[in-house]
Structure 1
Amino acid sequence: MMADLEQLCDLFETDRARYMGGQLPRKEAWRWLASEVGMWDLIGLGSWGIEDKNGSFLGQIGLLRPPHYPETEIGWTLLEHAEGKGYAAEAAGAVLLWAWEQGIETLVSYIDRDNSRSIALAERLGAVHDPDAALPPDEAPEETLVYRHRPDSDGSPEAYA
């Protein structure tokens, strides 16, 4: 993961970070990455790096449940050069299958209303917009949509493999 730090820090300094809570200076990006890794020890969930077959870092995907989240979220981000190639869908399918095998019954994705690519991916994965779902306290329905993922949204968890 340390090998990926520079690329993540670079990502957080671009406009693309608007969908991940906004741009962050490198010091704050470091804290963000450290908290993602630390969640594994604290709550048994966290993020995975996404790599291509050559081991090049493409982004990350994770199951997140910091204390201020009302539900566990599946969230993803890709570096710009990796978008549109199916990497996020493949990674998300694997993570959803893993989550269902762990007994997680539902997940949400908190998505910026303007992030059409993430909305399209959530829908491709079988998630449905849940306007009644609670949002984290720093989010507003005018800004953030909640998409709900369930193992039976398409009939079986095997469809995510």
Structure 2
Amino acid sequence: MIAPTLHTERLTLRPLALSDFEPLAEFYASDRSQYVGGPKAADQAWRTLACEIGHWTLRGYGRFGVDETSTGKFVGMVGPWFPDAWPEPELGWDLMNGFEGRGFATEAGLATREYAYKTLGWKTAISLVADGNTGSAKVAERMGATWESKLNHHIFGDVNIYRHLNSEAV
């Protein structure tokens, strides 16, 4: 399955593509990626992009590539995600360098939560937020999610589970 295209006030959410590799490689090479498995070498960033695209084939959904509509610049990856060894379906967001602090993760997160609930039929969702990642915790809270518990993830270590409002509440 190929991702549909969604639009918000400032963003275009569309299928991830090879053209997203360079900014992803820059992001994963930086310290900003420390909360999402980085830093990583370029070949590992390539595998991450392939994994994200392949998730659509394996699950029928996945994270979207997010562009700032007015500039066409790649902002990041946001959306529904449920890889192996995850406790349950998640809404996740990774913003590329220079796009943090502008409300893009919240805007795209709300749009993809609506997609997950209305199109995919999800009843609830979580977001996993690494200890110390205060920016992501604030995004979850702005979306109405509340801290639920800690999880010791075998790859990412201690993460916080934020529970989103259920489909009936939004």
Q: Please, which runs of 5 or more residues in structure 1 have no aligned partner? A: none
Partners of 2:142 and 2:149 in 1: CA distance: 18
Q: Please, which runs of 5 or more residues in structure 2 have no aligned partner? A: 1-16
Q: How far off is 1:135 after superposition? A: 5.2
Q: Find 1:84's aligned residue among 90, 101, 116.
A: 101
Pairing 1:138–2:160 present = no
CA RMSD, Structure 1 to Structure 2 (Å): 1.6
Which amino acid letter does the alignment assign opposite residue 113 of structure 1? D
1:7-34: CA deviation from partner (whole Å, max 9, x where unpaired): 1001100101101112111111101110
**SS of equivalent residue, structure 2 residue 101:** coil
Q: For residue 113 of structure 1, what is the aligned residue in structure 2?
A: 131
**SS of equivalent residue, structure 1 residue 123:** helix
Which amino acid letter does the alignment assign opposite residue 127 of structure 2? S
1:117-153: CA deviation from partner (whole Å, max 9, x where unpaired): 1001101101011116x5543344xx3111011235x
State the percentage of identical aligned residues: 34
**SS of equivalent residue, structure 2 residue 79:** strand
Partners of 1:62 and 1:100 in 2: CA distance: 12
Question: Where does 1:93-104 land on structure 2 (aligned, <5 Å)?
Answer: 93-101=110-118, 102-104=120-122
Q: Find 2:36's aligned residue among 7, 14, 20.
A: 20
Q: Find 1:72's aligned residue among 89, 97, 101.
A: 89
Please tell me whether the aligned partners of residues 129 and 147 of structure 1 are also in contact (alpha carbons under 8 angstroms): yes
**SS of equivalent residue, structure 2 residue 66:** strand
Q: For residue 74 of structure 2, what is the aligned residue in structure 1?
A: 57
Partners of 1:62 and 1:18 in 2: CA distance: 19
Partners of 1:34 and 1:56 in 2: CA distance: 20
Matched length: 152
State the TM-score, normalizing by the size of structure 1. 0.87
State the TM-score, normalizing by the size of structure 2. 0.83
Please tell me whether the aligned partners of residues 130 and 156 of structure 2 are also in contact (alpha carbons under 8 angstroms): no
Pairing 1:150–2:165 present = yes
Compared CA separation, residues 11 and 94, structure 1 to 2 (3 A): same
Partners of 2:153 and 2:44 in 1: CA distance: 20
Report the structure, 1 or 2, having the larger strand content: 2
Moved over 3 A (4+): 134-140
Compared CA separation, residues 109 and 135, structure 1 to 2 (3 A): farther
